[in-house]
């Protein structure tokens, strides 16, 4: 590292932008492969941990966290779920993931905890992580010596790397650094949002409940046996202050079957927020020596619990490709990264769109009359829960499709 009074310059193999799950998991896997990396994050660790996100991990994600050496607490505190329930027409119907997928399950373990475990592992390994980096910018992306520049404590810092991993989320600088005539974006914005709360009360049921109700979608999820994460579909015009805790609990109860509603325990929210829903994919996921992973490249509506799992899948492909470059001296993996990652991304986008379309209340379409949309949904749900083939398809997508070799 070279230093002057107002600037520094350092060298690494992979510069990672973003210390969310994508960036930290990539950093951990690269470190274990002996590949030097620096993580550059614009926010503080506390801010990163304060963001409440999803909570269902595919088995391939838990396997990857084990490969990264950070799975211990997840296995100790996470909840293995063999199935979930669909609620419609005033009754619940179980989707037996374990039976339908030949033994596969999902792990309920909050993204905040995954991020915390990755942060702790990175800190324990003494790996370079820059928090509260300002004015992060990417340079010479299409050359063999790309650079990342950032401001910290009034000093301009420059990181020279072989590769840059853009793990900086939907609003990051990495995707924005790809020329507009190269980048192709595909987006669908949904006409509603999710109002979510976190509360220290026992779950409504042992497993997740996804509810299609004429009042709107609802989801009863959890973080542990004493902490719940529940959601109700709400209008995009709603503000969090429009929703008192009491209003939330009444609306959630109204969207559940009688037995679940009777079992629901209410309590004060410890977090309450509204999130919009969109399907978004940016192609390609590589430009020169810049590789996009996670939310930097794609967004899914949370209905299918795919956001974190897709980020982990990108990171799995990218970490293996970079290891092949450095260890096996082949670029086959990095040259195929975008194609391979996007193939999985689009299947998860399709599944997340399908489940969102099936479970939410949509405004009537231009040619609709009566309650045709809701009737079509309940007919599909009735078919689904009585068809082994349909439930198998739902289950194998929910637990996570196999990786391409």
Closer Cβ to ligand APR, 249 or 287, answer by number: 287
Measured distance CA(239)–CA(331) in Å, rounded: 49
Closer Cβ to ligand PHB, 19 or 108, answer by number: 108
54 forms part of the interface with ligand APR (CB under 6 A): yes
Distance of closest approach, residue 282 Cβ to ligand APR, in angstroms: 12
Contact at 8 Å (CB) between 194 and 235? no
Contacts 24+ apart (CB under 8 A), 4-9: 6/154, 6/155, 6/156, 7/155, 7/156, 7/157, 7/158, 8/155, 8/156, 8/157, 8/158, 9/157, 9/158, 9/159, 9/160
CA dihedral 195, 198, 202, 205 (to 10 degrees): 40
Residue ranges in contact with ligand PHB by CB under 6 A: 54-56, 208, 219, 221, 229, 302-305
Q: Is 306 a catalytic residue?
A: yes
DSSP characters for 118-145?
HHHHHHHTT--EE-S-EEEEEE-TTSSS
Per-residue CA distances from 145 to 21, 131, 139, 288, 309 (Å): 26, 23, 9, 10, 31
Which span (3-11, 20-28, 181-189, 333-341) binds ligand APR, by CB under 6 A?
20-28
Closer Cβ to ligand PHB, 336 or 380, answer by number: 380
One of 12, 18, 199, 220 touching ligand APR (CB under 6 A): 18
Distance of closest approach, residue 306 Cβ to ligand PHB, in angstroms: 8
Q: Is 354 a catalytic residue?
A: no
One of 85, 168, 207, 251 touching ligand APR (CB under 6 A): 168
Closer Cβ to ligand PHB, 175 or 272, answer by number: 272
136 forms part of the interface with ligand APR (CB under 6 A): yes
Catalytic residue among 298, 302, 317, 360: 302
Torsion 123-128-129-133 (CA) sign: positive
Distance of closest approach, residue 223 Cβ to ligand PHB, in angstroms: 7
Q: Is 202 a catalytic residue?
A: no
Q: Is 81 a catalytic residue?
A: yes
148 forms part of the interface with ligand APR (CB under 6 A): no
* x-or-dash string of contact with ligand APR, 291-320, rule CB under 6 A: ---xx-----------xx--x---------
Q: Can you say whether residue 212 is alpha, beta or left, with left for phi > 0 and alpha for psi between -120 and 50 degrees? A: beta
Active-site residue set:
81, 210, 302, 306, 398
* List of residues contacting ligand APR (CB under 6 A): 17-23, 40-43, 48, 53-54, 111, 133, 136, 167-169, 171-173, 294-295, 307-308, 311
């Amino acid at each position: 590292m070279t230093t002057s009074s107002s600037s520094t310059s350092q060298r690494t193999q992979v510069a990672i932008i973003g210390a969310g799950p994508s960036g930290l998991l990539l950093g951990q896997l690269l470190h274990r492969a002996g590949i030097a990396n620096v993580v550059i994050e614009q926010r503080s660790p506390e801010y990163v941990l304060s963001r409440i996100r999803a909570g269902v991990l595919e088995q391939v994600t838990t396997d990857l966290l084990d490969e990264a050496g950070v799975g211990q607490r997840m296995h100790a505190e996470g909840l293995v779920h063999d199935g979930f329930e669909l609620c419609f027409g005033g009754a619940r119907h179980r989707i037996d993931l374990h039976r339908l997928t030949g033994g596969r399950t999902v792990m309920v373990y909050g993204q905040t905890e995954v991020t915390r475990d990755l942060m702790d592992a990175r800190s324990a390994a003494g790996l370079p992580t820059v928090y509260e980096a300002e004015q992060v910018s990417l340079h010479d992306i299409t050359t063999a010596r790309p650079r990342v520049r950032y401001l910290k404590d009034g000093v301009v810092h420059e990181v020279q790397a072989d590769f840059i991993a853009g793990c900086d989320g939907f609003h990051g600088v990495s995707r924005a650094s790809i020329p507009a005539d190269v980048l192709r974006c595909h987006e669908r914005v949904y006409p509603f949002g999710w109002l979510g709360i976190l509360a220290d009360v026992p779950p409504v049921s042992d497993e997740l409940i996804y509810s299609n109700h004429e009042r709107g979608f609802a989801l009863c999820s959890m973080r542990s046996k004493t902490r719940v994460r529940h959601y109700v579909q709400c209008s995009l015009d709603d503000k969090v202050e429009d929703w008192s805790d009491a209003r939330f609990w009444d609306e959630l109860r109204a969207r559940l079957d009688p037995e679940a509603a009777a079992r629901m325990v209410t309590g004060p929210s410890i977090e309450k927020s509204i999130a919009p829903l969109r399907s978004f994919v940016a192609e390609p996921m590589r430009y020169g020596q810049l590789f996009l992973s996670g939310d930097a490249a794609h967004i899914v509506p949370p209905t299918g619990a795919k956001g974190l799992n897709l980020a982990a899948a990108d990171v799995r492909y990218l970490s293996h490709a970079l290891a092949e470059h450095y260890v096996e001296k082949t670029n086959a993996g990095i040259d195929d990264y975008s194609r391979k990652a996007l193939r999985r991304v689009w299947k998860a986008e399709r599944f997340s769109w399908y489940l969102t379309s099936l479970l939410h209340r949509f405004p009537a379409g231009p040619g609709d009359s009566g309650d045709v949309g809701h009737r079509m949904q309940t007919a599909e749900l009735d078919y689904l829960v009585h068809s082994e083939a349909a439930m198998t398809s739902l289950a194998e997508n929910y637990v996570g499709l196999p990786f391409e070799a």
